[in-house]
Amino acid sequence: EALRLVDSVLEEPASGLDLPALLKACWERATAEAKALKLAKEKAAKEERLAEEKLLKEERRVAKEAAEAEAAQRKKEREAEEERQKAVRAEEDANIEAAKKEVARVAAEKRRRASSSEPSFPASEFKPGTLLEATAAEQSIATNISSHRLGRAASRASNIRASKPQDDGGDVELMEVENPAAIRARKAQAALVPETAAEPTQAEMDSLLSTQ
């Protein structure tokens, strides 16, 4: 711009212009424009930097919100899984308790049936780790019945042996059957129990015969 003005002055020297003042004015104008341009560039650069920083902050904010949302979602899923596990454990505990109650009910039913099938020996007579303890009367009756049945079995065995042909050992068998002590015991037991007692079983007879 200054050179253009100088050229115009040189072309028209009679115009009466002050060349130094004109050059100074041109210089000041050019300097002011350069400063303005520089300030504009700096302002644009600053605005661009601010825009970038703002964009970066916005991206960081969005990323932070996304991370927080993801963490909240994971926490929610974890809590839901814990609740599901609690429900599963509660159901398992309920099933175990139901199974225990069912086992206890079945055991009680078996005990009830066992006690009802043996009225002469009530459940109160059972003690842990011991056999059934009957009353003195029941023991006496059971002993009498057992002895009487064994006595009758011995009598029948004697009759069976007496009816068999005797060999060389016949005298010994006859002596064993006709043992006076056994006869007296048999008669004493027979006097305690009526003749209506049950007949000895085949197993009792076989056992007595094998013993004889």
- Cβ-in-10-Å burial (0-12, 13-18, 19+) of 85 comes to exposed
- What 8-state DSSP symbol labels residue 37? H
* Most confident of the ranges 2-6, 23-27, 173-177: 23-27
pTM over 0.85: no
Confidence bin at 174 (pLDDT 50/70/90): very low
Q: What confidence tens digit (pLDDT) does each residue in 134-155 have?
A: 455 455 555 555 565 566 656 6
Rounded to the nearest angstrom, the gap between the alpha carbon of residue 19 and the centroid of all alpha carbons in its chain is 107
pLDDT, residue 25, reads 81
Contact 149, 204 (CB under 8 A): yes
pLDDT at 114 over 60: yes
**Sequence-separated contacts (24+) of 168-175 with Cβ below 8 Å:** 173/212
Cα distance between residue 121 and residue 114, in whole Å: 10
Share of the chain above pLDDT 70, in %: 47
Q: What confidence tens digit (pLDDT) does each residue in 46-76 have?
A: 999 999 999 999 999 999 999 999 999 999 9
User: Which of these ranges, 103-107, 110-114, 174-178, 200-204, has the smallest mean pLDDT?
Assistant: 174-178
Q: Which helix (H) or strand (E) holds 211?
A: helix 202-211
Residue spans per domain, the chain = 2-89, 143-164+171-211
- What 8-state DSSP symbol labels residue 129? T
Q: What is the largest CA-CA distance in the chain?
A: 189
Distances 63 to 50, 51, 56, 58, 156 between C-alpha atoms, Å: 19, 18, 10, 8, 107
What DSSP line would sit under 39-58, residue for residue? HHHHHHHHHHHHHHHHHHHH
pLDDT, residue 143, reads 59
User: Which of these ranges, 54-58, 98-102, 132-136, 178-182, has the smallest mean pLDDT?
Assistant: 132-136
- What 8-state DSSP symbol labels residue 187? H
Q: What confidence tens digit (pLDDT) does each residue in 154-168 have?
A: 666 566 555 555 554
3-state helix, strand, coil in the chain (%, to 5): 80, 0, 20
pLDDT, residue 23, reads 77
Confidence bin at 197 (pLDDT 50/70/90): very low
